[in-house]
Amino acid sequence: MMMLPLPEMLRIFLVAFLCSAAVGVLGVSALWLGRRRSLRVRLTIIVATTLASVLTGMIAISAAMYLSEHDLYVFLTVAFASLLSTIAVTWFLARGITREHEDLRALTAEVGDGRRLGDLGDPKDVSETALLRAELVATSRRLADSRDEVAALDRSRRELVAWIAHDLRTPMAGLKAMSEALEDGMVEDRQRYYVKIRVQIDRLSRMVDDLFALSRIQSGALELESIELSLYDLVSDAVAELRPVAASKDVAVHARGLSDVIVAGDPRELTRVIENLLMNALQHTPANTEVVLETGRNAQGQAVLTVTDDGGGIPSEALTEVFTTGWRGSPARTPGDDTITGDPTVDGGGALTGNAGLGLAIVRGIVEAHAGTVGVTNTEAGARFEVCLPAIGPAG
């Protein structure tokens, strides 16, 4: 077999290259002109340009080298038929690709409209289109979950604002009425009214303090001091402080359990947790019953504080909602004292018998900031709140 001389091979290569390049330039121009056409048209232009560039180079060389004119016509006919069949096949096959493209476009529009897509497609299909579809479906679900969460937070925020406005309005109305009565000289026992005014001011102060605490927790600005503490000592101090409130409601409060359970935490914030749980129990516990606070350890070695009351328990559907900001045990809560003529249902120190639905949300935030957990279950007579905190060890 004779090899062609090198100059002739170079000449053939150069002619074929230039012819193919010229067709390629025309194809690029056609693709640019059709850039706004459908994907199907552009795919056909790409395939047709590729085949035409190959055939043009071959035709140019064949025209110069074929000795038989008949053979050249045969080659040209075959090339033209191949080009037409390739364009037809490409146009047909592109229909499937464009259909997938349109499906993805429709899915993207549904995601943009906020719809939750449910069909992940065939899990065995690992094509790029299938993977993109699965990602769109997963994204739509994440966005839907985020929208639901934002809507729930917004609903909770609006309800909280309404409840706080209600709870603020009641003591403020009482303060206004009492101050006007004092100003008009219509009060015989002025000292009794002064005590009531102080009680209402303490109520407002406690609500504002709870709002500030919740704001710090939710914004991540809660700064904790970490020292070793006896959990039982914290419980004993809180029980001693709030015992007058319990006595005013004829509720017995007992502190029990292990005295050697040591935790690392902020004494002020952990005291707030205990007081909020105890106040919550006192609010819902009827007279002539008891509230029990007990410290101990669980099977995992964590420090455990339980607060058990006889308040009748919590509806099962609300067990997962009690720690939500603004949650309340009843649809509306009006303080149970007659501000003007009755006796306050709080002690002279101003301890509250209610809050704006923030107490348990504050409890959860503080406990979680201490790397702990808090939960609630129902007992036969009431509810049992359980706080679990990392324990250091028994007291030395």
The tens digit of pLDDT for each residue in 218-249 reads 777 778 888 999 999 999 999 998 888 888 88
From start to end of 138-274, where are the E strands? 227-230, 251-257, 262-265
Averaged pLDDT for residues 173-190: 85
Higher pLDDT, 305 or 38: 305
Q: What was the pLDDT predicted at 387?
A: 94
Q: What was the pLDDT predicted at 65?
A: 67
Q: Residue 96 is which amino acid?
A: G
Q: What was the pLDDT predicted at 373?
A: 93
Evaluate whether 353 touches 345 at the Cβ level (below 8 Å).
yes
> In degrees, to the nearest 5, what angle opens at C-alpha 389 toward C-alphas 387 and 395?
115
Evaluate whether 356 touches 253 at the Cβ level (below 8 Å).
no
Q: What is the DSSP string of 51-94?
A: HHHHHHHHHHHHHHH-S-HHHHHHHHHHHHHHHHHHHHHHHHHH
Q: What was the pLDDT predicted at 119?
A: 61
Q: Residue 3 is which amino acid?
A: M
Q: What was the pLDDT predicted at 113?
A: 67
Question: Which helix or strand (DSSP H or E) is residue 384 part of?
Answer: strand 383-389
- Residue 168's pLDDT band, with cuts at 50, 70 and 90, is confident
Strands 262-265 and 391-393: antiparallel
From start to end of 220-359, where are the E strands? 227-230, 251-257, 262-265, 289-297, 303-308
User: What are the structure tokens assigned to 45, written together?
Assistant: 């232009």
Torsion of CA 106, 109, 110, 112, to 10 degrees: 160
User: What are the structure tokens assigned to 320, written together?
Assistant: 């997962």
Torsion of CA 161, 162, 166, 172, to 10 degrees: 40
Q: What was the pLDDT predicted at 292?
A: 93
Over residues 386-395, the pLDDT tens digits come to 999 998 865 4
For residue 99, pLDDT over 70 is answered with: yes
Evaluate whether 39 touches 101 at the Cβ level (below 8 Å).
yes
For residue 64, pLDDT over 50 is answered with: yes
- Residue 18's pLDDT band, with cuts at 50, 70 and 90, is confident
Higher pLDDT, 375 or 131: 375
Over residues 271-330, the pLDDT tens digits come to 989 998 998 899 888 999 999 999 999 988 899 999 999 888 888 877 877 887 766 654
For residue 354, pLDDT over 50 is answered with: no
Q: What was the pLDDT predicted at 122?
A: 55
For residue 125, pLDDT over 60 is answered with: no
For residue 126, pLDDT over 70 is answered with: no
Closest among 240, 280, 262, 255 to 362, alpha carbons compared: 280
> In degrees, to the nearest 5, what angle opens at C-alpha 243 toward C-alphas 238 and 246?
120
> Of the given ranges (178-192, 248-262, 332-346, 374-388), which has the lowest mean pLDDT?
332-346
For residue 3, pLDDT over 80 is answered with: no
Helix, strand, coil percentages (3-state) for the chain, rounded to 5, are 60, 10, 30
Share of the chain above pLDDT 90, in %: 16
Mean residue pLDDT of the chain comes to: 78
How close are the terminal C-alpha atoms of the chain, in Å?
101
Evaluate whether 103 touches 127 at the Cβ level (below 8 Å).
no
Q: What was the pLDDT predicted at 124?
A: 60
- Residue 384's pLDDT band, with cuts at 50, 70 and 90, is very high
> Of the given ranges (61-65, 123-127, 263-267), which has the lowest mean pLDDT?
123-127
Q: Residue 115 is which amino acid?
A: R
Q: What was the pLDDT predicted at 326?
A: 63
The pTM score is: 0.56
Averaged pLDDT for residues 322-351: 46
State the sign of the Cα–Cα–Cα–Cα dihedral 319, 320, 322, 326.
negative
The span from the CA of 377 to the CA of 95, in Å, is 60
The span from the CA of 227 to the CA of 270, in Å, is 11
> Of the given ranges (71-75, 314-318, 344-348, 376-380), which has the lowest mean pLDDT?
344-348
For residue 349, pLDDT over 50 is answered with: no
Averaged pLDDT for residues 118-138: 66
Q: What was the pLDDT predicted at 356?
A: 53
The span from the CA of 313 to the CA of 296, in Å, is 23
For residue 333, pLDDT over 60 is answered with: no
For residue 148, pLDDT over 50 is answered with: yes
Sheet arrangement for strand 373-378: 251-257, 289-297, 303-308, 383-389, 373-378
Averaged pLDDT for residues 359-368: 88
